[in-house]
Amino acid sequence: MDGQRERDEADIILPGPSREPRRWFTHGGHAPLPAPVRVSWLRRPRSGRPGGPAPVSSAGEPSRGEAPVVIDGSRGEGGGQILRTALTLSLLTGRAFRMTKIRANRDKPGLRPQHLKAVEAAALLGGEASGAEVGSRELVFRPRPYEPRDLKLDIGTAGSAALVLQTLHLPLAMRAETAVRVVITGGTFNPKAPAFPFLEETWRAHLSRLGLSVALAMPAAGFYPRGGGRLEAWIEPGRPAARALPDRGRLRRIRGVAGVCNLGEGIAARMRDRALQQLEDSGLNSDIEIDAVRWPGPGQGAAVAIWAEHEDAAPATFVGLGERGKPAEAVADEAVEDLLGFEAVEPAAVDPHSADQVLLPLALAEGPSSYSVSVVTEHLRTNAATVRLFLDREIAIDEPDDPGLPARVTIR
């Protein structure tokens, strides 16, 4: 059986495309993928203001003589998000970029392994990168025409597999003719990065509402410092559709998991019981259910993920992450506090962790879009600034004076 699994997996290893077309089906509970929406300005030459979308031929070939986008990697949020967004947009628009001062204000400046893996994956799809090494503070990326293909990547550390996947998702989905499988080994529960429960419940739901279909699996959980988690994604062809996301409706229920990997079940039970008690004490009028689970994986770790489900909105996910010396109760408190902060801002449709991630596909959709968000983060502002460098889109973020009211993001 193991030998058969190895032979099956060998069929998807880089660099060649799938040997025959395959198609995967979405998980239950998500809408089926509609017919692709044609994005004309990504397919036909068009002039625009400096920094707007690069003219791209029907084959996606970069235009000759187009000046590269110059990006200051220390601006705004100043992290790896600027690089990941630039890689995504460079592949889709055919526009080269040069990034300086990469993560200049961080404790460990320059490219880290998970950022380098995103660059390598983008180059493998279609591009050339200079300065692509751990610690590098300057990078030049030049895209080339590419054909979406199955990918198997190993970050080599506990770096976030989710962030690498999100870099590749839109370039694969928007150019693929058949479903593409991506397998990434690394961290699936990381501080300051989307954890797998967020991807599965929230990111997928947002994409589904925009006409993009992704199925996910986590055969192994990866925690710091061991890593070794496995994230699998099946990406269906599609193009994002413009949407006006309405304000969320009433809270229907709260679900969650308190999970451990190679730790005692008592830790999971303590996290679950604490989260349940804190939620019940908060006075939220909804059904509440949190399960204690065990995740397979090579290392040790613990996490709590809680989903708030509202009418007319994607589920919002809030995660507390364990670490050495951190009580199980503190892990649960972290997730509950984040959820209660979101619930206090009515009637925001999008949680702060999703706001910058929803922005990119909506900016690539043809036509105006809008959505409300509970909190405007520096990640959202930075992503908007990066998108403006590549696309001829007007992005307005209107923040109210009252912190109890949502902000509005408009894309024209």
Q: Which domains does the chain have, with CATH numbers?
A: 11-235 (3.65.10.20), 251-343 (3.30.360.20)
Residue 152 has a pLDDT of: 95
Residue 65 has a pLDDT of: 53
**Cβ neighbour number for residue 207 with a 10 Å cutoff:** 26
Give, in degrees to the nearest 5, the angle at Cα 188 between 185 and 192.
125
Residue 192 has a pLDDT of: 87
Residue 379 has a pLDDT of: 93
Query: What SS3 state is found at 149?
Result: coil
Q: Beta strand 251-261 with 301-310: parallel, antiparallel or unpaired?
A: antiparallel
Residue 61 has a pLDDT of: 46
**Cβ neighbours for 277, distance < 8 A, ≥ 6 positions apart:** none
**Cα separation, 173 vs 237, whole angstroms:** 5
Q: What's the pTM value of the predicted model, to 2 decimals?
A: 0.84
The two structure tokens encoding residue 378: 């520096």
Amino acid making up residue 306 = I
- Output the DSSP codes for 280-320: HHTT--SEEEEEEEE---SS-EEEEEEEEEETTSPPEEEEE
- Phi/psi for 330 (5° steps) reads -70, -35
Question: Across-strand partners of 127?
Answer: 143
Output 122-127 pairs: Cβ under 8 A, ≥24 positions apart: 122/87, 122/88, 122/90, 122/91, 122/167, 122/168, 122/171, 124/14, 124/15, 124/151, 125/91, 125/149, 125/151, 125/168, 125/171, 125/172, 126/91, 127/90, 127/91
End-to-end CA distance of the chain: 53
**Cα separation, 133 vs 130, whole angstroms:** 9
The per-residue pLDDT for range 174-231, each reduced to its tens digit, is: 999 999 999 999 999 999 899 999 999 999 999 999 999 999 999 999 999 999 999 9
Q: What is the pLDDT along the chain (412 residues), one digit of tens a residue?
A: 444 333 333 232 233 333 333 333 323 333 333 332 223 334 323 333 333 333 332 234 444 457 899 999 998 887 889 999 999 999 999 999 999 999 988 888 999 888 999 999 999 999 999 999 999 999 999 999 999 999 999 999 999 999 999 999 999 999 999 999 999 999 999 998 999 999 999 999 999 999 999 999 999 999 999 999 999 999 999 999 999 998 999 999 999 999 999 999 999 999 999 999 999 999 887 899 999 999 999 999 999 999 999 999 999 999 999 999 999 999 999 999 999 999 999 899 999 999 999 999 999 999 999 999 999 999 999 999 999 999 999 999 999 999 889 999 999 9
Q: What are the respective helix, strand and coil percentages of the chain, to the nearest 5? A: 30, 25, 45
Residue 88 has a pLDDT of: 98
The per-residue pLDDT for range 110-149, each reduced to its tens digit, is: 998 889 999 999 999 999 999 999 999 999 999 999 999 9
- Which are the catalytic amino acids? 379
**Cβ neighbours for 357, distance < 8 A, ≥ 6 positions apart:** 166, 194, 203, 206
Residues in the chain: 412
Closest CA to 289 of 266, 320, 258: 258
Residue 216 has a pLDDT of: 98
